[in-house]
Amino acid sequence: MRRVKKMSSSSIITAVFLLCCLANGSTGSQDDCVYAATGSSLTVPLRYELKESDNLKWFKDTRIIFYRRRKQVIMGKNDAVDSTGSLKLTQLTKDKSGRYIPEVHSTEGINVGDLQSVRLCVLDRVQKPSVTMTCIDSDSVSFTCNAGQKDNTVRFEWTSAETQLEETGEILIKRAVDVVNTPVVCRVSNPISFAISDPVIQNCFTPSSQDDCVYAATGSSFTVPLKYELKESDQLKWFKDTIAIFYRRQKQVILGKNDDVDSTGSLKLTQLTKDKSGRYKPEVYTEGINAGDLPSVHLCVLDPVQKPTVTRTCTPDKTKVTFTCNVGKSEKNFQIKWFMVDKKTAEKEIVKDLTRPVKDVLNARFFCNVSNRVSSETSQPVQQDCKFSFPDTLFGISIWVFVGGGAGIVLVLILIVIICSIRTKRKRRLRLKDERELRLQWGNQEQQHHHHQHHHQHHQHPNQNNSDQHHHPHHHQQQPAGNTGPRQHRSKQPRTQQRPRAPEPANGQPQPSPRRATQVSAPGGNGGEEQPPPLPQPRKKTPKAPKE
């Protein structure tokens, strides 16, 4: 019996310990995970020096998966742990993810304390991604990285010309001029593996398909190449449109600065501004002879676009939402593209405003991309917040007409109910009043009939009545107060006749009003038949005698 109690208390302590560990594990972040790949093996270490006489348990979350008491394995397999008591997990699958908790009891059944647990997260290895390219227009190109799995542990990285880009999403949008003949690579990774796609080069257009303008952003630097092998004895001139801006004869600089050109004779332009736009043309003379027409460059300097913001506007009936791409003070020569999150292709609209039905974009998020020849910026995604409301019109009629009509009908119904209730109460009151009058009229007729009979009998038997009055004087006297006996019979008097006043008591205190005697049955005059009792009449107050 003691052993059973001991085991039950130990089980309770163990359950509480596991719940605490589970709570700590569930509230922990993803960073406390020990990651492992599916199909691999992992050993969960037991950070305790185990003795042969100790009892060892391993839990997965709250379930026991291994139990060894001294040297006897009760649950699990003998090779599930190594010689140190560490748990060996092989051929891992995702369902083996969880928190593994060891528990050690000494021979006396005492828990050695809280031992370190391990939270295992089993993930699939990422597959090699593939990159697809979509030409958005003549200026922009979209690259999409297609990975085998998509979860919160997968990361996307982009590389162009062996240079890592800042973009980390599944979709990369670039200006075509920035990736001309440049391979683009996507790298997919998770905590246990990574894979790299094959390089992709855009083929939407070639540089020859553009105009002769070479674009550069304000504030940047640009070098106009001299496509000629210059000698030290040659004379070099650079023209902007028709104005000479640099002239060097042999090694002497006559116009401009020495550092305006590099060692090859190419023209260096720094801190570009819009007034530096123009056609730059070189001229080279060897021993006074022109080396011929050399390639010129038409430079176009543009301001970079500002980062746009997206605002949303709901129509009055809340059925449509309009997203507006605000581009600030950007120049007119920019293009706008609309994108929906989790959708690979751009929307068809290339205007500032994008309108969609609310029911089609309940949970969708939109962002816009603004670009020109020298820069590209993308806004933050925005979700519509239009809430449904009643329309202003219904069947071409204002909704307030229906609301007012409904309210009027309800008011009329309420008035009808009130009027019907009042009429019903009035009819009931009149009916009760009529019943009372009929009963009173019937009662008066009965009283008159009885009075007539009684008066007739009184004239026929005067002596008998006198004798009865002599033997029963209390017919005309009031009964003592507090008398609870049967009522005394008394003759019926007409309603118009006043009652005799009771004599004043000796002590001066008023006595209670006398009770009416019950009508005495008429003797012999009516054949000995008993007369019905009179109807109750309201009690009249007897005036009090004045005190002396």
Among 164, 181, 196, identify where a domain stops: 196
Q: What is the dihedral sign for C-alpha 358, 361, 365, 371? A: negative
| Three-point CA angle 349, 350, 354, nearest 5° | 50
Task: Provide the 10 A C-beta neighbour count for residue 449.
Answer: 11
Task: Give the CATH number of the domain where residue 180 resides.
Answer: 2.60.40.10
In a shared domain, residues 73 and 183? no
Same domain? For 47 and 160 the reply is: no
d(CA 98, CA 25): 9
Q: Tell me whether residue 455 is in a domain.
A: no
How many secondary structure helices (H) and strands (E) does the chain include?
3, 33
Q: Report yes or no on 451 lying in a domain.
A: no
How far apart, in whole angstroms, are the C-alpha atoms of residue 13 and residue 20?
A: 11
DSSP 8-state symbol, 14 = H
Q: Under 8 Å CB-to-CB from 471, ≥6 apart: which residues?
A: none
Mean pLDDT of the chain: 76
Measured between alpha carbons, how far is 124 from 438 in angstroms, rounded to an integer? 100
Same domain, 162 and 247: no
Structure confidence at residue 15 (pLDDT): 41
Average pLDDT over residues 463-477: 45
Full domain range(s) for residue 14: 2-123
Residue 492: beta bridge partners? none
Q: Same domain for 226 and 335?
A: no
Q: Note whether 116 and 27 are same-domain residues.
A: yes
| 476 within some domain | no
pLDDT at 467 over 90: no
15 lies in the same domain as 118: yes
Residue 140 has pLDDT above 50, yes or no: yes
Answer yes or no: do 325 and 282 share one domain.
no
Please give the structure tokens belonging to residue 106. Answer: 């000494």
- Residue positions counted in the chain: 548
Q: Within 13 Å, how many C-alpha atoms sit on residue 314's CB side? A: 16
Share of the chain above pLDDT 90, in %: 17
Question: pLDDT category, 520, cuts 50, 70, 90?
Answer: very low
Query: Is 67 part of any domain?
Result: yes
Q: Mean per-residue pLDDT for 252-264?
A: 87
Burial annotation 489-503 (CB, 10 A radius, 16+ → b, else e)? ebebeeeeeeeeeee
Domain-embedded: residue 525: no
Number of domains in the chain: 5
What is the distance between the alpha carbons of residues 385 and 378, in angstroms, rounded to a whole number?
21
Taking the whole predicted model, whether its pTM rises above 0.75 is answered as no
- Residue from 393, 324, 320, 394 nearest 354 by CA: 324
Q: Are residues 7 and 118 in the same domain?
A: yes
pLDDT of residue 101: 94
Looking at the fold, whether 59 and 119 belong to one and the same domain comes out as: yes
In this structure, the answer to whether residues 261 and 370 fall within a common structural domain is: no
Q: Is 437 a member of any domain?
A: no
- Whether residue 444 is contained in a domain is answered as no
My answer on whether 160 and 144 are in the same domain is yes
Residue 239 lies in a domain: yes
Task: Check whether residue 64 and residue 114 sit in a common domain.
Answer: yes
